[in-house]
Amino acid sequence: MPEVMSTTQQPTSMMRFDTLEDAEKHYKMYARQKGFGVRYCFRKKSEASGELIRASLVCHRAGLKIKRKVDTQNPQPIAPERRRNTTERTNCPARMFVKRRDNAWVVTEINDNHNHPLIKKWSLTGYL
């Protein structure tokens, strides 16, 4: 049976959303359709009011792997620590910046270029 999905409009600069959650939901639906995962890079609050004023949603492969520091005073235990399954980071530049303007969230910057292969099979994108 062929996989069926509805299409979500590609985010564009100056696209408006009522809430940050609406912007996140739209970008996540678009990302799933294209074959990549999304996470927050940052969320900035206003110092005066404490309300969120801007945020950055990035590809799940944005950034680089964090290198762990080796402690020379305390060597590794005999039983090695379990290796965690983590997403390989490739410093992917794909991202969406949103800012709060006039009681709406506006896309101020969008980059849809990835430096890694995207998932083609719709059923596998649920794991992102």
Predicted confidence at residue 9, as pLDDT, reads 86
What pLDDT, in 10s, does the model give residues 57-89? 999 888 887 776 666 677 666 666 666 666 688
Question: How do residues 44-65 score in pLDDT, each as one tens digit?
Answer: 999 999 999 999 999 988 888 7
Contact predicate 70/38, CB 8 Å: no
What gap in Å lies between CA 105 and CA 99, rounded to an integer? 5
**For residues 75 and 82, is the Cβ–Cβ distance under 8 A?**
no
Q: Say what percent of the chain tops pLDDT 90.
A: 47
The rounded percent of the chain whose pLDDT value lies above 70 is 75
